[in-house]
Amino acid sequence: MNPPKSVLVIGSGPIVIGQAAEFDYAGTQACKSLREEGIRSILVNSNPATIMTDLDIADAVYIEPLTVEVVERIIARERPDGLLPTLGGQTGLNLAVDLANAGVLEKYNVRLLGTQLEAIQRAEDRELFREMLRNLGEPVLESEICETVAECLDAAEQIGLPVVIRPAYTLGGTGGGMAFTMEQCRTVATSGLAASPIRQVLVEKNLLGWKELEYEVMRDGAGNCITICNMENLDPMGVHTGDSIVVAPSQTLSDKDYQMLRSAALRIIDDLKIEGGCNVQFALAPRKDVRDWDGDPSEALPYHVIEVNPRVSRSSALASKATGYPIARVAAKIAIGKRLDEIANAVTKKTTAAFEPALDYCVVKIPRWPFDKFGRGDRALGTQMKATGEVMAIDRTFEAALNKAVRSLEVGSRSLLWQKPEWRDTTVPLDATDERLWALMTELRRGTPMLDVAARTGVDPWFLQRIERIIAMERRLLNETLVEELLREAKRMGFSDEMVGQLADYLPEQVREMRHELGILPVYKMVDTCAAEFEAVTPYYYSTYEQENEAIPRPDKAAIVIGSGPIRIGQGIEFDYASVHAAWALQRSGYRAIMVNSNPETVSTDFDTSDRL
């Protein structure tokens, strides 16, 4: 395939729930990646508060509505050789399908780059997707494709309640949901059919309580496939992955289960002939008895494929920042015909993109919900996403990463010690809401057996056991004298000075002073894609309380840029735009720019935006 001379990149439009700053990051990486190859990039997007719409990112920028009519006019004017839609989220994907169906791509001889139209349709159309899984021998969940409300009701009766209704070609579970009664089924079916551009929904058996996992995979045009990262949802099936606490890499899978799901993900991306990044979501059965949670690891558990995103997604941004592997950059190079082994690893400068990343740390993502602004909103979490943004924390252990992630949410000064006042004298509700993590903490503090909590919530006992370790440290800080060993252990577990002081009856300043006197100081470790196997040129860093510091101080002038954290109501992508430009301005003025931020979706947390991240 001859590489194109010019490429039209479709952005994702305005920020909506399920489609936020991650696509600004993806589009920016793609345009920079195309420029590295000497290819002219033409960008169309309707969101002016993005880095990708800066005049020095793409060679031509159009801030226009993302419609077939407008994009056709741009194509007629610019005459690009190729169209790259897979970095613009569901908006970009749907627009590419519409352009192809309207004959625009054929009329102007524009080649669809990366994932082809047939692959998009097979992944997004529920009937074609189910047929593909059957042909591959993958377990197919009992389900029915429906195009009317009456068909949905018949399917629910045949499958048996409860069911999940999933609209085709939609974003963030829009219009879908769970139905426990026929009346709920009628309501959800009506909204689901209205939300689907092709008026099609999938009515499927509800896998409430099953474990939800994601694999981020990459394939080139020669058929080379790699797994970049696998991620495990702390919340079981029934909660949209965008509303779930996510841990990378997975912590509770046996090697047999991990390899089984990895092989399935690679089979699927290969059969779809996807060229670029792809996200595959699985449901894994819980053990028959939760009390057998550490049962025979040689026995593989049943699983189902939930869905495939044949594009760069919200999870791709998380996987990219969690591993250091620049997914959007690599996907753009694959789209113009490069193989994985021909693409240099931009972090190490020694390995290629064909190397699977290795992680020697734990990453925790927690969604940022808008309920602090909308106190009367429905806090129940289901298959329709409600979070506006997310935070990511990295540390050596799950406990430390969880503590750091909770503080990064910036919901007041809330830490894991927070407890709702009304829980003190009543039964703690363990339903899936934005407050469930704190409810779990409260219930376990009361002495409720961990396995009982696991049975009631579907949260894997391994995670609850780790939360119990945090609670055990709380008790030690409450009851023991704060000596050096105890303080060091608490800091390694992610406790802030404020938390330690609150429990041990000190002011945060006193705890900080004590730490400095005892030499209990954070060091910084690298995210380098290879677990220190190779020397990294452009790594980024996370703090932890260990011995060896990998961030070597430099003598030249430097300034810190403090990022804006998670996207929330009233504070969106425009502040990331400001942070990025601040870093670039410092660099032009002869300063090293040091970026500090907790949002994995953003351009500011890209490995090459600042001098140190």
* pLDDT tens for each residue of 153-186: 998 999 998 888 988 877 667 888 888 999 999 9
Residue range(s) of every CATH 1.10.1030.10 domain in the chain:
396-523
In the DSSP assignment, the letter for residue 198 is: T
In the chain, the percentage of residues whose pLDDT exceeds 70 is: 96
CATH no., domain 142-205:
3.30.1490.20
pLDDT in tens, 61-85: 999 999 999 999 999 999 999 999 8
- Element at 330 (helix H, strand E): helix 327-335
- 498-521: average pLDDT: 96
| In CATH, 214-256+276-359 is 2.40.50.180 | no
Q: Find the DSSP H helices in 460-543.
A: 461-479, 484-492, 497-504, 508-518
Q: Is the pLDDT of residue 460 over 90?
A: yes
d(CA 115, CA 613) in angstroms, rounded, equals 32
Instruction: Please give the CATH topology (third level) of the domain spanning 396-523.
Output: Carbamoyl Phosphate Synthetase; Chain A, domain 4 (1.10.1030)
Residue range(s) of every CATH 3.30.470.20 domain in the chain:
214-256+276-359
Q: Can you give the pLDDT at residue 368?
A: 92
Provide the residue type at 470 as one letter: I
Mean pLDDT, the chain, rounded, equals 88
- Enter the tokens of residue 501: 């002081």
Q: Is the pLDDT of residue 572 over 90?
A: no
- 571-600: average pLDDT: 90
Q: Is the pLDDT of residue 229 over 80?
A: yes
User: Which of 366-370, 398-402, 477-481 is predicted with the least confidence, judged by mean pLDDT?
Assistant: 366-370
Q: CB of 66 within 8 A of CB of 46?
A: yes
Residue range(s) of every CATH 3.40.50.20 domain in the chain:
6-113
Rg (CA), the chain: 24
CB neighbours (10 Å) of residue 69? 9
CA contacts within 13 A on the Cβ side of 498 = 9
pLDDT in tens, 42-51: 999 998 888 8
Q: Is the pLDDT of residue 19 over 90?
A: no
Q: Torsion over CA of 320, 322, 323 and 324, rounded to 10 degrees?
A: 60
d(CA 97, CA 323) in angstroms, rounded, equals 31
Q: Can you give the pLDDT at residue 530?
A: 65
In the DSSP assignment, the letter for residue 102 is: T
- Note the pTM of the prediction, 2 decimals: 0.91
Q: CB of 391 within 8 A of CB of 365?
A: yes
| In CATH, 6-113 is 3.40.50.20 | yes
Q: Name residues whose C-beta falls within 8 Å of residue 464's C-beta, 6 or more positions apart in sequence.
A: 440, 444, 450, 453, 454
Q: Is the pLDDT of residue 29 over 90?
A: no
pLDDT in tens, 386-432: 888 899 999 999 999 999 999 999 887 788 999 888 888 788 889 99
Q: CB of 167 within 8 A of CB of 195?
A: yes
In the chain, the percentage of residues whose pLDDT exceeds 90 is: 50
Q: Can you give the pLDDT at residue 1?
A: 62
What is each CA distance from 501 to 438, 486, 496, 543, in whole angstroms? 20, 13, 9, 20
Confidence of residue 535 (pLDDT cuts 50, 70, 90): low
Q: Is the pLDDT of residue 287 over 60?
A: yes
In the DSSP assignment, the letter for residue 243 is: G
User: Which of 223-237, 339-353, 456-470, 488-502 is predicted with the least confidence, judged by mean pLDDT?
Assistant: 339-353
CB neighbours (10 Å) of residue 506? 18
